[in-house]
Structure 1
């Protein structure tokens, strides 16, 4: 007989990359997780994992079983949460992914009161600047800044995100202050590598226009983009939620172009075809209220 505890141990081991990680997530001893994995493999009649002293990998059977196992554990968790929600409480696991800088600066402070108000929730937050594939990663939702063009996702707008072209006073004194889009092409750019050097998009009377400047520095983290701009390496297109404190402190200047950067949004997105739980909807509403309209970080 296949037991749900064994399936949960298998999924947690794969998603954490180790039995130790699974034990920490499940709050069990390593020996209990190992026993549950062994019992599951006996029930299925074959090995699911390659075990070695250095790494753990999926067997062919394990790779085939994993998506179904993830779906089973998610369905059981959602069923338990649905019963709790019928009783007027939010409970059970919730897994999110979000960009590092936004998570640290703004998402965390908005989450903590929500979690305190709902102590039966068990939230796992993965901060990563990579583009997470929520349709296959096991996350309930992702927080994303910018355009979402994945048709497999349902996106909820959380807040507007004003973007600012920024530079240090020292850089502008040395290289001049650009006034037009043509001026930008002669300047050094600091770019977010997950978007590329064509990320400078502006609103014009003829519609959105992208400008490609000379790449001076590329990095996949907003904090480092801001710091590189403060160091005078070049111009950086930054969201106000990163740039505003540095502008207020006088470390950065918003470059006064004759056109404005294209407007963007912060989204919470979940996989299409998966009914969002009451706890996910409640979290969405909490974040929208915490960020405000217009969002508090836009007050530059």
Structure 2
């Protein structure tokens, strides 16, 4: 709003990754490329994912160091319509089957909250290392990446409010300020994100997640 005085943006989150909301929004974010040819689409960021658990959980259950070590651990699963079912089956298979899931949620914040409070192991984006100090990226050779795209309507390309929204998104996902959003992998287990541990993003959820 500071970039466009008088503008009150409405941010809407949709947990259905398969749903096309391009007819309902001026600007959108997606893990997949929209099909509408009238949209202008560009890559915004790359999210890198690792397995995480809390120090309290690891003290209680031990630290898994290999893929095989994950079997039998408590798994916290994010289930979302439109998500990659093959990937889901792979992760569930690693953990030991459907019975390994002790909690399922369709949103990322409860997932982070549950991990931070010691309920189990989950696959989280590496920026989670900046959000709370109560979780640890595990030394397991499990690493995933997903591209994040932004889109807007071609006819609105010169709209100042749309341009302000895009500028805001680019600043929020600036990989020079936040290397966790860069195409290259910056490993928090090796201190690669320590330089931005005090960045504004790091304060957003700390009062909630600890």
Which interval holds the TM-score relative to the shorter structure?
0.5 to 0.7
Q: Secondary structure at the match of 1:223?
A: helix
Counterpart pick for 1:126 among 12, 16, 33: 12
Kept in 2: contact 1:184–1:211 (CA 8 A): no
Distance 1:235 1:260 in 2: 12
Matching residue of 1:148: 32
1:262 aligns with 2:144: yes
> For residues 287 and 149 of structure 1, do their structure 2 counterparts lie closer, same or farther at Cα, with a shift above 3 Å needed?
closer
**What 5-or-longer segments of structure 1 have no aligned partner?**
1-114, 202-209
Are residues 239 and 245 of structure 1, via their aligned partners in 2, closer, same or farther at CA, if it must alter by over 3 Å? same
Does 1:253 find its partner at 2:139? Answer: no
Query: What is aligned with 1:211?
Result: 91
Higher Cα Rg: structure 1 or 2? 1
1:168 to partner: Cα distance? 1.2
TM-score (norm 1): 0.48
1:225 is displaced (CA, Å) by 0.8
Query: Are residues 234 and 218 of structure 1, via their aligned partners in 2, closer, same or farther at CA, if it must alter by over 3 Å?
Result: same
Cα drift, residue 121 of structure 1: 4.2
The equivalent residue for 2:208 is: none
Contact 2:105–2:111, Cα closer than 8 Å, also in 1: yes
Q: What's the C-alpha RMSD, in Å, of the aligned pairs?
A: 3.0
Any idea what SS the aligned residue of 1:158 has? strand
Which has a greater percent of helix?
1
Q: 1:295 to 1:265 in 2, by over 3 A?
A: farther
Q: What are the equivalent positions in structure 2 for 1:52-71 lying under 5 Å apart?
A: none
CA distance 1:196–1:228, shift in 2 (3 Å): farther
Tell me if structure 1 keeps the 8 A contact 2:76–2:104.
yes
Structure 1 SS opposite 2:15: coil
Counterparts of 1:84-163 in structure 2, within 5 Å, are 115-119=1-5, 121=7, 123-131=9-17, 132-136=19-23, 138-144=24-30, 147-148=31-32, 150-152=34-36, 155-163=41-49
Question: Structure 2 length normalisation: TM-score?
Answer: 0.65
Residue of structure 2 in register with 1:178 after alignment: 64
Kindly tell me: are residues 196 and 219 of structure 1, through their superposed partners in 2, closer, same or farther at Cα, counting changes over 3 Å? Answer: farther
CA change 1:255–1:275 in 2 (3 A) is same
Q: Secondary structure at the match of 1:238?
A: strand
2:55 corresponding residue in structure 1: 169
- The structure 1 residue matched to 2:157, chosen from 277, 285, 289, is 277
| SS state at 2:77 partner | strand
CA distance in 1 between counterparts of 2:29 and 2:74 reads 30
Deviation at 1:183, TM superposition (A): 2.4
| CA distance in structure 2 between the partners assigned to 1:235 and 1:218 by the alignment | 12
SS of 1:162's partner is strand
Q: Cα distance, 1:263 vs. partner? A: 1.9
How far, CA to CA, are the matches of 2:102 and 2:33 in structure 1? 28
Residue 175 of structure 1, CA deviation: 2.3
Equivalent position SS for 2:11: strand
Distance (whole Å) between structure 1 residues aligned to residue 71 and residue 41 of structure 2? 34
Cα distance, 1:178–1:200 mapped onto 2, change above 3 Å: farther
